[in-house]
Copies of this chain bind each other. A is one copy, B any other.
Amino acid sequence: MPGIGPKTAQRLALHIIKRSETEVQALAEALVEAKRQVGLCKICFHLSAEPTCSICRNTNRDPGTICVVADSRDVIALEKTREYGGRYHVLGGTISPMDGITPEQLYIQSLVQRVSQEQIKEVILAIAPSVEGETTTLYVAGLLKSFTKVTRIAFGLPMGGDLEYADEVTLARALEGRQEL
């Protein structure tokens, strides 16, 4: 399990053993129940207990803007900013031939379908800038460009960041991406 090393694993195992059987039974059932209830939204593929997620069902959100992310975790991170009022599309990962992840295994085809069939004003690609992320961004942008405006989030100095402590690639991207005031 992610983030759990041998020490934490032992601590958790001992904690489970010390509990009463009813409590352990309840935890086991909760796990199975969570797995059973939570599926993917059939529109944007974000985690959802209903057939469509709460963001896709929210009529206050702009249906003309789609923010494309790699993972459901990224939706949660972007929602915390309270800055984005559009909808999402979760790809389910990034293209990575080394790990055997091809575009066909991601929800890219359904994104192209959404963009070609709905009235979409803008697609914002919000994929982290790793090698796989850049590949995915360029691949998806190439597929969508003929249908609508495609943008990507800015890369540069993080807030509170100091020029002195920023790595060279970040500084170079910050210079390259400069904007007129």
Which A residues contact B (CB, under 8 angstroms)? 67, 69-71, 73-74, 76-78, 80-81, 83-84, 124-126, 128-130, 137, 141, 145, 149-164, 166-181
Alpha-carbon gap, A179 to B152, bound state (A): 6
Q: Are A164 and B80 in contact (CB under 8 A)?
A: no
Q: Which of B76, B149, B159, B167 makes the CB contact (< 8 A) with A159?
A: B167
14 A-B residue pairs with CB within 8 Å: A74-B164, A81-B175, A83-B172, A126-B163, A128-B157, A128-B160, A128-B162, A128-B163, A130-B160, A151-B178, A153-B177, A154-B174, A155-B174, A177-B177
Q: Are A159 and B179 in contact (CB under 8 A)?
A: no
Q: A128-B160, A154-B154, A154-B175 are in contact. List 10 more A-B contacts (CB 8 A).
A: A73-B164, A81-B169, A125-B181, A151-B178, A153-B157, A154-B176, A155-B158, A156-B157, A158-B166, A159-B167
Copies of this chain, whole number: 2
Q: What is the minimal beta-carbon distance from A160 to any residue of chain B, in angstroms?
A: 7
Interface centre among A150, A155, A161 (most CB of B within 10 A): A155
Contacts of A71 in B (CB 8 A): 164
Q: Are B157 and A129 in contact (CB under 8 A)?
A: yes
A84-B175, A177-B177 in contact; A77/B153 too (CB < 8 A)?
A: no
A181-B125, A181-B141 in contact; A174/B160 too (CB < 8 A)?
A: no
